[in-house]
Amino acid sequence: MSPGKEQWDEVYRLLSWWDAEKVAAARVLVVGAGALGNEVLKNLALLNVGHIFVVDFDAIEYGNLSRSVLFRPGDVGRIKAEVAAERVRDINPNCEVGWFNGDIIYDLGLGFLHTMDVFIGCLDNRVARLHLNRYAYRLNKTWINGGILNLAGSLDVFQPGVSCYECGLRPQEWQIIRYRLGCNDVAKRNANQGRLPTTPISSSIIGAMQVQEAFKVIYGNHAQLLSRQRYFYDGQSNESKFYPAKPLQANCLSHSTWENIVEADMLSARMSVRELLDELSLLLDVERPRVHLEYDVVLELYSEDSQVATPVLLPRFRIDEQTYRNHQFSAGETVRIPPEMTVSTLDETFPRPDASLLEVGIPPWQILQVEANDEMHFVSLGGDRGSYFSLNTVVPAEDRAIRAPIQNL
């Protein structure tokens, strides 16, 4: 057989359980393209997974090279997600790979996440893990969390209704999360506690196990998932330990599953608030729909010494220290957000109805929480599907100024 006719997974097909069609059709989301994410992506490529999507907000530093199999010295300064996607394609041209440079918390629409089969978390901070956990629960997706430190590593499989990251958080971890949630800057919000000492050995082991668990999800083998156990690996002693997963807690905020999601192809994040409300009225056959946001939209910044109120239209998570400095009329002046000049819903009373959804912080292909006639509906901005998230698509320049770029998704 000539090399051109050989199948990539020819050896895997000798395995009695191998299902080439399932693997080729699989859609896997990898959040984090650091040392652990590199190992996960490399393994997914070698195993011929058909559709891989990598998300990261950071750029490559020289210190990443000693622990990241996909990065090279010439990549320093480049976007991690972009380079990782390139290297996956180099390893296996059969893989369709998309990449996203932005914040998983606010920049990536849940409608896109809903198309994934499984999430793999390769994160180094609790805030991002918390939000990924909540998104996975809402969309009824299993996600696989990995962590590494020094010669050790850990793995958790969080399956809705069985196990939950948020339920296992300790009080001191919540204290860190609440502090981080108060940081509007994406880098500060997602920062770890300084540079953590890790080795490529621990990332190789944990990354391999994460992909192994992901394959159980792809194959529908939920009975053998490690969702009822926590796994710890100690490289110093070469011991593997299993502990019972933390039990589910009543009233946990993560335990909200969004059912009966409506894919509305006529809706897009580029449309205005007014247009959205009109379309929702027709779609849901109601008069006054109300869209609930999970953040505040700021309508005014007040400069105290100058006593100047400046109209703005910014989601609170986009307001950082530079924003405040830009609204100082004298050096060191305090600039604050008047509580009465924020809103967290979009309805007929919204003061800027001609603003686009992008401008108020709603990303493309988001799933909206819409209240209508005392019922909650979940409506996806399906009109963004083709233009933003097909492979080899680049986000339009006019939207790139508003939010982080999406490329090759």
In a domain, 49, yes or no: yes
In a domain, 389, yes or no: no
Together in a domain, 208 and 266: no
Together in a domain, 66 and 201: yes
Together in a domain, 217 and 314: no
**Residue pLDDT, tens place only, 34-53:** 999 999 999 999 999 999 99
Together in a domain, 291 and 352: yes
Q: Which structural domain, as residue segments, surrounds residue 298?
A: 262-384
Domain of 64, CATH number, reads 3.40.50.720
How many structural domains compose the chain?
2
Long-range pairs, 79-87, Cβ under 8 A, ≥24: 80/33, 80/34, 80/56, 81/33, 81/54, 81/55, 81/56, 82/407, 82/408, 83/33, 84/33, 84/37, 84/38, 84/41, 84/54, 84/56, 85/52, 85/54, 85/408, 87/41
**Residue pLDDT, tens place only, 346-368:** 999 999 999 999 999 999 999 99
Last residue in a domain, options 218, 244, 270: 244
Together in a domain, 342 and 374: yes
**H or E element in which residue 28 lies:** strand 27-31
**Residue pLDDT, tens place only, 105-136:** 999 999 999 999 999 999 988 999 999 999 99
In a domain, 121, yes or no: yes
In a domain, 58, yes or no: yes
In a domain, 253, yes or no: no
Together in a domain, 276 and 139: no
Together in a domain, 282 and 338: yes
In a domain, 158, yes or no: yes
pLDDT at 408: 42
In a domain, 148, yes or no: yes
Last residue in a domain, options 211, 244, 277: 244
Together in a domain, 315 and 204: no
Q: Which of 88, 205, 199 is CA-nearest to residue 146?
A: 205
Together in a domain, 235 and 299: no
Together in a domain, 291 and 222: no
Together in a domain, 114 and 217: yes
- Is residue 276 a contact partner of residue 291, using CB atoms and an 8 Å limit? yes
Q: Could you tell me the pTM of the whole model?
A: 0.89
Q: Is the pLDDT assigned to residue 185 strictly greater than 80?
A: no
Name the token pair of 224.
């053998």
In a domain, 34, yes or no: yes
Together in a domain, 222 and 294: no
